[in-house]
Structure 1
Amino acid sequence: MKISFKKLSIYMLFSLVVSIFVCVEFIKFTAPIMEKFMMEENINLIKIQVTGIILIFSSITVFIFTFLFLINRKAKYINYISKEVKKIKSEGFGRTIELRGKDELTELCMSINEMSLELKERIENEKKIEKNKNELITNISHDLKTPLTSIIGYLELLNAKKVDEENKDEYVKIAYNKSLRLRTLVNELFEYTKLNSTDIKIQKVKFNISALINQIVGESIIDFSEKDIEVRLENPYKELNSFIDKKLIYRVFENLMKNAQKYSDPNSLFLVIVEENNTNITISFINKCEEIQEDDLDKIFEKFYRIDEARSSENEGAGLGLAIAKKIVELHDGELLVKKLNENIEFKIILNKA
């Protein structure tokens, strides 16, 4: 059987051995004195017994004091740990204990510190989740109420048969468009919730990013032309591979293209640039947008954030497009960055090369 001596046990054993050694040395030192004392002619049995008791008591006292002196530092540290644990209990998690030495007590303190910090982080995350949940409910209620109220209003008019034939088709068309907007909002909310769940799994495969960006830019040219926006793609690569979930990355490109389409100034240029280096693939989306200011960039990836002037737009989503895009890119261990370039705004996707 292999015996493993821990550091604290070894220290206690060392303290015990040293105490015994000091006690023995004390006896060696006092024994000649006692022997000389007992050699006196008038010594009697009672004096011998008293002297022996004094010697034994003194030796035990020396042993106890020596042992307590050696373990006093550890005892104080244990007492300190006990007080600090009580403070953690009363003041809240996040407080840490000072580390002293390199024995099991230090390891215990390290474990307590890790537990305290981890529990604090969990509590803060739970508070954040609760806050996000409340914000989600509030924004869902606001975003769903508007089109739903309109749909109900127009359907009530149609149901009451108080609408003449001239306006009937128009009301039906409006109610239909409102229902499509409602479906878009629900789909965005569902997608955002799904992407932020803890058990989300993505199916990564090796795929040609260059071909994918060529496809989606080509499909979007007509939409941009309605606002007289020129689309220019600078992609000299026939093949740039990365391990991606094709559907999700397509969604990222689509969200950024739609965002550029909504916020680009009329008669401007929308530029998509594809670049690479030894480790990464970079796709930049640059469009002219005087409406978005530098202050907006700090909040632009927050869920439900929209530019105030465009909030009432019928084509506006739930304000989740960029939040969804950023989350997807992060699930691919990439980055989605944004910056203002004079009158232009640039969104840059950085993905790992295969």
Structure 2
Amino acid sequence: MKKERVKLTATEKSELFAEGVITVVLLLLLNLSVDILINLTILQNKSLANGIYFLKKTVTFAGGRHLWSWQNTFLVIMGLGDLLVLYWRLIRRYHQMQLRHVISELHYIAQGHFDHTISFKVKTDLQKVIDSINSLVASTVNAINEEKAIENSKDELISNVSHDIRTPLTSIIGYLGLLKSGVANPADQQKYLNIAYMKAEQMKSLAHDLLEYTTLKSTNIKLQLAPLHIYSMLEQVAAGFEFEAHEKGITFNIETRPKDLTIQADPEKLVRVYNNLIANALKYGTDATQINLIANLVNNNEVELRVENNGAAIPADSLKKIFERFYRVEPSRNTQTGGTGLGLSITKSIVDLHHGKIVCESNDKWTRFIIYLPLNPKNTKN
């Protein structure tokens, strides 16, 4: 937004005009007094008067012109001085008015309008004060918004956890109630037990993911760094999903450039990252036939890790929220796929711990999770 100069009120304009008039009157009186004193001094000192007359007659310019009358010369000098004094007085008063406006804006902000910024600009050092105030306002607004976001996040966390616990717990109580009452026939008893067990597993998964998520968010957690051979790790991770991928008709493709690419990382946590991303691809990569696990050395300090599948694309709106906790791409909050909505949040937290970053790209051909990690997190400044 383009800033304008301070707009003076009608009262301030009148005040500025009065300041100019008073200054002009005082300067005229001063000039008159000085002129009278000088004239009296010259009249009383004949040698001084003769010296001025001699100087005027002897000093000539081109065309034979003599010095101008000393009175006129003196008046011009005084006039220039008067203009400088008048400008200084008016600009000084104008700056005082600007300061008054800034103080008024500060009082307005102090009354609780913490999102209000000072919209005008000045050409003095006062602009630095205004910029500092606006920066402070912006920081305050960000802090307030972050606090609100934290409160909303806490409420959302409680709501989501309550929902995800209540749903399977209701099923468990219901089916165990049927078994306890004895109304279930023998043919259905095993089915009810299996459903209750599956729901209990979902609750266990949620509790585990919640614990891991809160642990990763803790400032006290430290990485257990060790040399990690990427290709070997990717082979082991892919082997763990081979059976499930085979049932869905999906094949793994592993590439690392160079082949012996090795980085410093926490092996257990980085394996969890790949487990989450591959499990996510298997669950939600509808009609996918291939999952690529690719690692490239970007430069002497960074490596790029990619997990990509050629299944259904993720909607653009969902890409912006995909790493938020409890967020699921499907519109309903059912857990038939077995997800808790925490997997990708955990993944991002692990990547953040390694001082890296993760992004998601998706189109009709490929859905890619791209991770950028330093070769050695110890060499990365926080």
TM above 0.5, one fold? yes
- What are the within-5 Å matches in structure 2 for residues 267-286 of structure 1? 268-278=289-299, 279-286=301-308
Alignment match, 1:154: 175
- What are the within-5 Å matches in structure 2 for residues 84-233 of structure 1? 84-90=105-111, 91-96=113-118, 98=120, 100=122, 103=125, 105-196=126-217, 199=219, 201-203=221-223, 205-208=225-228, 210=230, 211-233=232-254
Distance apart, 1:106 and its partner CA: 4.6
Distance apart, 1:34 and its partner CA: 10
Q: What secondary structure does 1:290 align onto? A: coil
Q: 1:302 aligned to 2:307?
A: no
Alignment match, 1:29: 34
Distance apart, 1:152 and its partner CA: 0.9
Q: What secondary structure does 1:325 align onto? A: helix
Alignment match, 1:335: 357
- 330, 338, 341: which is aligned to 1:319? 341
User: Cα–Cα, structure 1 residues 82 and 153, in superposed 2: closer, same or farther, change >3 Å?
Assistant: same
Alignment match, 2:57: none
Give, in whole Å, the separation in 2 of the partners of 1:310 and 1:213. 33
- What are the within-5 Å matches in structure 2 for residues 33-72 of structure 1? 71-72=92-93
Distance apart, 1:307 and its partner CA: 3.5
Runs (5+) with no aligned partner, structure 1: 1-21, 40-61
**Cα deviation 1:210-233 (Å, max 9, x = unaligned):** 143333223222231232321221
Give, in whole Å, the separation in 2 of the partners of 1:188 and 1:234. 30
One-letter amino acid of the counterpart of residue 211, structure 2 = F
Give, in whole Å, the separation in 1 of the partners of 2:32 and 2:214. 79
Q: What secondary structure does 1:232 align onto? A: strand
CA RMSD of aligned residues (A): 3.5
Distance apart, 1:101 and its partner CA: 5.0
Distance apart, 1:118 and its partner CA: 0.8
Decide whether the 8 Å contact of 1:265 with 1:289 is kept in 2: yes
Q: What secondary structure does 1:308 align onto? A: coil
Give, in whole Å, the separation in 1 of the partners of 2:239 and 2:264. 23
**Cα deviation 1:265-303 (Å, max 9, x = unaligned):** 467122212211214211221213236445543443333
Give, in whole Å, the separation in 1 of the partners of 2:183 and 2:227. 57
Decide whether the 8 Å contact of 2:313 with 2:367 is kept in 1: no
Distance apart, 1:99 and its partner CA: 5.4
Distance apart, 1:257 and its partner CA: 0.9
**Cα deviation 1:134-178 (Å, max 9, x = unaligned):** 222222222221101011112222222334444433323321221
- What are the within-5 Å matches in structure 2 for residues 2-17 of structure 1? none
Q: What secondary structure does 2:305 align onto? A: strand
Give, in whole Å, the separation in 1 of the partners of 2:302 and 2:196. 47
**Cα deviation 1:189-222 (Å, max 9, x = unaligned):** 333344445x354426253251433332232222
**Cα deviation 1:44-95 (Å, max 9, x = unaligned):** xxxxxxxxxxxxxxxxxx9x99996574344223212201212323543251
Q: Which has the larger radius of gyration?
A: 2
Runs (5+) with no aligned partner, structure 2: 1-26, 45-81, 377-382
- 241, 252, 256: which is aligned to 2:277? 256
Decide whether the 8 Å contact of 1:334 with 1:349 is kept in 2: yes
